[in-house]
Homo-oligomer: A and B are copies of this chain.
Amino acid sequence: MHSLQFTAESSSNGMVERDFTVGDIPGVLWSPASGTDRAPLVLMGHGGGQHKKHPAMAGRARLLTGCGFHVAVIDAPGHGDRPRTEHDEQDIAELRKAQAAGEPEGPIVVRYNARLAEVAVPEWQATLDALQELPEIGTDGPVGYVGIGLGTAIGLPLVAVEPRITAAVFGMHWPDALVEKAKQITVPVEFAMQWDNERIPREASLALFDAFASKEKTLHANAGKHFDMPRFEADSAARFFARHLGRTVTSPA
């Protein structure tokens, strides 16, 4: 088991940013600048082709640290600061080829992301082990997970096997490799989809939402195409965690 090593630290506007590694996995931990009390932890999975410090991640981190949470992101396999394998390069080339030819990308993304998830789920579990050794997080505090797209392809199987995660926000992925895992999930879930998604069929998103065994689950469907997901869904996710991880909202409006 690897412990967590901090490699850089900075802060701006009330948020502390610390780069870290757990073994050879690079990550970032964002925390509220005020206070060192124990606080809930939100794990955040980035989207396909993105990385741990993508603006969408930093933006969500600001909302979540504003709610008093710690927020951790790690680079997915072959993303950000991590090298791509030959297999990654093959999958990505196949994806680009399908996109250029106007052919369905779903089957390629489903297979590629499922392969990444097999590697990433144990990485997230090792990272969570290491994060919980930090005194400001600890082993007894609540943990949430939020991730859209690739963040759902990895996070959904993670939440299915990881009892420490007690609330999750997912969305925007094909159900094929995920439906059976969703049936194992019973914690509160918020699930986002785009109503006019040109990549993921509407019925496919509805079917994945339907599969969660959670007693408390909410679907948010917004008009618009795949990349039109409105920013207020990030606010909504922060409120979801404020309800379920036990901190009150202080500033994200």
Contact = CB atoms under 8 A, between A and B. Distances in A.
Interface stretch (A128-136, A146-154, A162-170, A211-219): A211-219
Contacts of A243: 232
Interface stretch (A42-50, A92-100, A234-242): A234-242
B223 A220 contact: no
B253 A249 contact: yes
Interface string A39-76: 00000000000000000000000000000000000000
A223 B191 CA distance: 12
Interface string A224-253: 000000101001100100110000110001
- Which residue, of A215, A216, A221, A248, has the highest number of chain B Cβ atoms within 10 A? A221
B218 A220 contact: yes
Contacts of A215: 223
A249 B235 CA distance: 12
Contact of A214 (B220, B223, B232): B223
B232 A223 contact: no
Contacts of A221: 209, 218-219, 221
Given A195-B219, A217-B222, A248 B239 contact: no
Q: How large is the interface on A (under 10, 10 to 19, 20 to 34, 35 or more residues)?
A: 20 to 34
A216 B223 contact: yes
Contacts of A210: 195
A239 B249 contact: no
B253 A239 contact: yes
Contacts of A218: 220-223, 230
A196 to B, nearest CB: 10
Nearest to A218: B222
A195 B208 CA distance: 13
Interface in A158-217: 195, 206, 209-210, 214-217
Contacts of A220: 218-220
Contacts of A222: 217-219
Nearest to A215: B223
Nearest to A242: B253
Contacts of A214: 223
